[in-house]
Amino acid sequence: MHFYKKIQKKQLHKTIINILNGTLELTEREKQVLYVLIQLDVAWVPTFKSDYKNILSTDNRRAVMKETNVHKANLVKYVNRFKEKGLILKNDQGGWDINPIIVTPPVGGIVEIAYTIEIDDYNAKDFTKGVV
């Protein structure tokens, strides 16, 4: 099965979040916070050789709280949930990044997302008889 969707460039990360949300089960507010963190990750540019990316720096957290109107306690809860789900990963320098799978750049204007669904209690007989 193959699904196809054509979108505007500015909708890329929101669309990816929505597609993955069937698995992630994020709330609307969590999706909003994750989107802002992705924007920070994608826009990051080192200013000095010693700079390392940390999307969870104090300044970035303040920016996320201001942009999303989320209080500090809720942001901490959301960030911990993102870490548990593997959406935010610790980098080699001790900072934090968005999982590269989520922010992979398009190739030729196309982003492909593949899902593999494993059925825990699979029994072929159930599917031949229409019992699901």
Query: For the chain, which domains are there?
Result: 9-105 (1.10.10)
Cα–Cα dist 120/112, whole Å: 26
| Model confidence pLDDT, tens digit, residues 39-84 | 999 998 877 766 788 999 999 999 999 999 999 999 999 999 999 9
* Residue tagged 């929101």 (tokens): 14
Question: Is 25 within 8 Å of 51 (Cβ atoms)?
Answer: no
- Global pTM? 0.83
| Model confidence pLDDT, tens digit, residues 22-45 | 899 999 999 999 999 999 999 988
